[in-house]
Amino acid sequence: MRIGIAGISGRMGRLLVEEVAAAGADMAGGTRRGDDLGPVAAASDVVIDFTRAEAVQAHAAALADSVTAWVLGTSGLSAADEMAVAEASKRIAVVYAANFSPGVTLVLALAERMAAALPAAQYDAEIVEMHHRQKVDAPSGTAIGLGRAVATGRGVDLADVMQSGRDGHTGPREMGTIGFAALRGGQVVGEHSLLFAGADEHIILTHKAFDRRTFASGAVRAALWASTQPPGLYAMRDVLGLH
């Protein structure tokens, strides 16, 4: 199995090199910022991509052209970026996840089930996340994933109920909205909490990552899985067999 890495010189890229070797797979090469992904895509069975959102559309085209599976962990994608990912998935297997940690994947599954059981009229949903000071997008991809899980559980579209970055005189909280708060500072790898706040009780789901290696090992696990799958758009829950 030949694995390529987009963004091989970054923090995640260096961990991915180690995890690819630990999994017994072959390194097919990697790209640095500004490199053309095409040659690495052509030499790989699957490419793991934790680069920036502005590269996603070009990467989608290169991987679809080479018929190379894609494990995508880039956050901050626009609607056009996500459309490019969906188009690529018609020709290749794409595992697109906000977070490749098995623990976060389980939290997302729980969030959807809890949202279905806790009515929006009685339980306000709020999501709080914290990351290192260098992170460029907010809310984080994982926080958005939590919001989507809650929205799915409640049968609504996140775009219709998302409330992010409250400031000034906002008035009372609108029923049914899903609130987001993003904290940045230090070198926090990633902390996410989902709060269901009722009049008589609060239920909180929290995940804290202490080492980026959990994301790297999960992404390599996803790559090994994706290499045997037909074209389609998959999530980490598919890799773990959570249906």
Tokens of 99: 């977070």
- Is 131 one of the catalytic residues? yes
Q: How far apart are CA 212 and CA 16, in angstroms?
A: 10
**Strand order of the sheet with strand 178-184?**
162-164, 178-184, 124-131, 190-197, 202-209
- Phi-psi region for residue 165, left (φ > 0), alpha (ψ -120 to 50) or beta? left
Q: How far apart are CA 190 and CA 210, in angstroms?
A: 7
Task: For residue 214, give the amino acid letter.
Answer: T
Please report where in the chains the tokens 């996603």 appear, as a residue.
Answer: 56
Q: Which residues contact 129 (CB under 8 A, 6 or more apart)?
A: 139, 140, 142, 143, 180, 181, 182, 183, 190, 191, 192, 193
| Contact predicate 196/123, CB 8 Å | yes
Strand partners, 131: 184
**Options 135, 169, 192, 202, the catalytic residue:** 135
Tokens of 202: 């609060």
First to last CA, the chain: 27
**Options 131, 192, 202, 207, the catalytic residue:** 131
Give the residue numbers marked as catalytic. Answer: 131, 135
